[in-house]
Structure formats: C-alpha cells, structure tokens
Amino acid sequence: MSGFTSQIPTVRGRGARSNASGRFETAVREAFDDGWTAEDAEPQQIVTTVSAEKAKVIISRNDSPDVGFSASINPYRGCEHGCIYCYARPAHAYMGLSPGLDFETRLFFKPEAAKLLDAELRSPRYRPEFIHIGGNTDPYQPQERTLHITRGLIEVLVRFHHPFSLITKSALVVRDLDLLAPAAAEGLVRVAVSVTTLDRKLARSMEPRAATPEKRIEAIRRLTAEGVPVTVMFAPAIPGLNDHELETVLERAAEAGASGAGYVALRLPREIKDLFREWLESDHPDRARHVMSLIRQIRGGKDYDAEWGSRMQGSGPVADLLKVRFQAARKRYGLDQPWAPLDMGNFRVPPKTGDQIDLFGEGL
C-alpha cells in the first residue's frame, strides 16, 4: 500500500481515507501520523472546488465489448458522491491529481457541453446511435443542481429526437421528468438507477454523498410512474459485504416499478485497490481480510483481473454462485424482460434560430 497510511484522521463526509499522489506525478506526497491525531477529536473537512474544463468534443467513443454502448457523454470529471469503489477514480491521475480525496473534492465540468453536442449532431457525417450519459462519473452529482450541464444535454437530445440512456445513483434525476417522460413516450430513453445497498449505515460510509437507498427506490417509483423504463443496477456486488442484499434490492426495485436488472462485481483497477482496502480496514476491520479473500477468489487470486469478458462478473465458484443467484432473483421478480430497442428512426436535425423555414419541408 505504497503512499497510504491508515493513521490519518477520517475526513468528514468523504469516501477516500487518503490523498496519495497520482501515478504520473514526479513528486510524491504522503500523509503521516505525527502523534497528535489521537488527541484531535474533530475530523478534517475539505471544501469542494469546481472548475470549468474546455472540451473540443463531447461524445466519447469506445470499443469495449463489456459495456453495451460505443458512444457516451460525461458532463463531469471527478464525482462528489465519493463512492470508495468508483472505477473512474484512476482517471483523475491524468489531471495530475490524486484518485483519492482529490477525485471527490476537485471536480471539473464542461460548460459548453450542450453547445458541443448540438454541433456534433448537426454534422453531415453524424449517424445516430444511442448515447449513454454517465458512463464514467455520475451525471447527477450534487453540482448538477446548480450547473444544469446534464439537463442541457438532455434538452439537446430531446430536441433532435435522439435516443439515449443514463445511469445514476442520485434522486436528482426526477427533476428532469418533464424531459424524460415525453422522451420515453417516443421510445427515446431508458434510465438505470444504481442501488448498491439498502443499509443506510453502509451506504453513508461507502457512498457518503450519494442519495440514500430509500431516495433511490423512490426515484425508481417516480420515474416508472411517468412511463420512463428503469433498470436497477446492483453495482458493485461486493462478496462478504453487500452481496447478501442482492435479492432484497431486486425485490424492492421491482415493487417500485423497475422492469430490468443488472449487476457488476466489484472492480479494483490501479489505485482503487489500495483506496478500497484502506477504507475497508478503517470502516470494517472485522471483515476486511475475509472480504479481500473473497474478492481475490473471483479475480483469479489477484485483487483485479482486467480480462475482457470476465472483468464485469469475475470467475470461479464465488462469482458463479453470485451469477446464479442474480439470474434466479431477476426471473423471480420479473426483471428479466429484454430491453425494448430505442427508436433510431425519429432522429432529425431541428432548424437553428435564424434559419430560413423550408416551405415544403418539416419546418412548416
């Protein structure tokens, strides 16, 4: 665990317990215990900073066979939710920042996101394919309440009648029901809501600034009541920590109206393995060794195996049992219906302000 120490005091309201240097930095910083920690009762506090990022394009492309989409948009870098397991943490190292506390306190947003998307969709070379919002960090993290970057993107996609999906663990998604409900009526959108646990204490520790579990279930209820198709994501499934809740989470989501379900086994690439282990030893010392042992059992004896085709669910008897349980619960609660394909046929480029109206076309 180079660069980390379990002796530093807990930072109030944050997931990571340390802020070791990113792997690309030439200088290394490391917190240490100078002997005064035990006498200081007040936890540290870190103020969140949010900076504008100038982007040239807004639609990202990938060719991974594991994620189910090739086009995505990420309105933010970093995430204030502070989920200790977040697979996006290592990307902060590319900013010269730490995947630890920096990831959840030094955030970046793309102010020109909606304008860039409008321009890319108007390109004569553009061919519509469904776009996923939030494939990296949460598009509805707390800063979205005032910045409205995600809402601006949805407004553009709705205006173009463009199919899209999004994933979140925030109840803020219901704010945009005025856009999502009409889009759903056209077959243009589906939403995934991540529910990792129903245990408030575990959620507060593991996902400190995300919506409470009950708020997420209520978000599913409100979305589906307005006709928006919702998939519940039990992600990540952590053997020995939250995996015993799999069936209960799916049952509650189905009762709230969800029509699909998915799961992802815990992934610990790069710096996350140290951050997660540090958090586990701090918050769950009684089960830390057992949990890490089970994690290694689903990853071929390692903390993580990045092999395509198995990295999302793991392998071995522990992973196989989790998969069998998931499939049985998904069928039991009626969450095994195939997703309805999003409609690609309604895409059209709307006239820009100032464009001359085509008297013989759709502009009339």
- C-alpha 82/C-alpha 269 separation (Å) is 17
Most confident range, picked from 17-21, 37-41, 73-77: 73-77
Mean pLDDT over 269-282 rounds to 89
- C-alpha 128/C-alpha 7 separation (Å) is 52
Name the least confident of 24-38, 106-120, 217-231, 346-360: 24-38
Whether 327 is in a domain gets the answer yes
- C-alpha 45/C-alpha 47 separation (Å) is 7
pLDDT at 285 over 80: yes
Whether 13 is in a domain gets the answer no
Is-above-0.95 flag for pTM? no
pLDDT at 35 over 60: no
Of the chain, the percentage scoring pLDDT greater than 90 comes to 60
Whether 342 is in a domain gets the answer no
Query: CATH number of the domain that 277 lies in?
Result: 3.80.30.30
Looking at residue 4, what is its pLDDT? 37
Split at pLDDT 50, 70, 90, the class of 199 is very high
Q: Residue 75, Cα to own-chain centre: how many angstroms? A: 12
Whether 110 is in a domain gets the answer yes
Domain extent, residue 165, equals 50-91+105-332
336 or 306, which is more confident? 336
Whether 121 is in a domain gets the answer yes
Whether 18 is in a domain gets the answer no
Looking at residue 21, what is its pLDDT? 59
Most confident range, picked from 9-18, 163-172, 270-279: 163-172
Whether 12 is in a domain gets the answer no
21 or 199, which is more confident? 199
- C-alpha 192/C-alpha 248 separation (Å) is 17
pLDDT at 129 over 70: yes
- C-alpha 303/C-alpha 288 separation (Å) is 13
Whether 85 is in a domain gets the answer yes
3-state helix, strand, coil in the chain (%, to 5): 35, 15, 50
Number of domains in the chain: 1
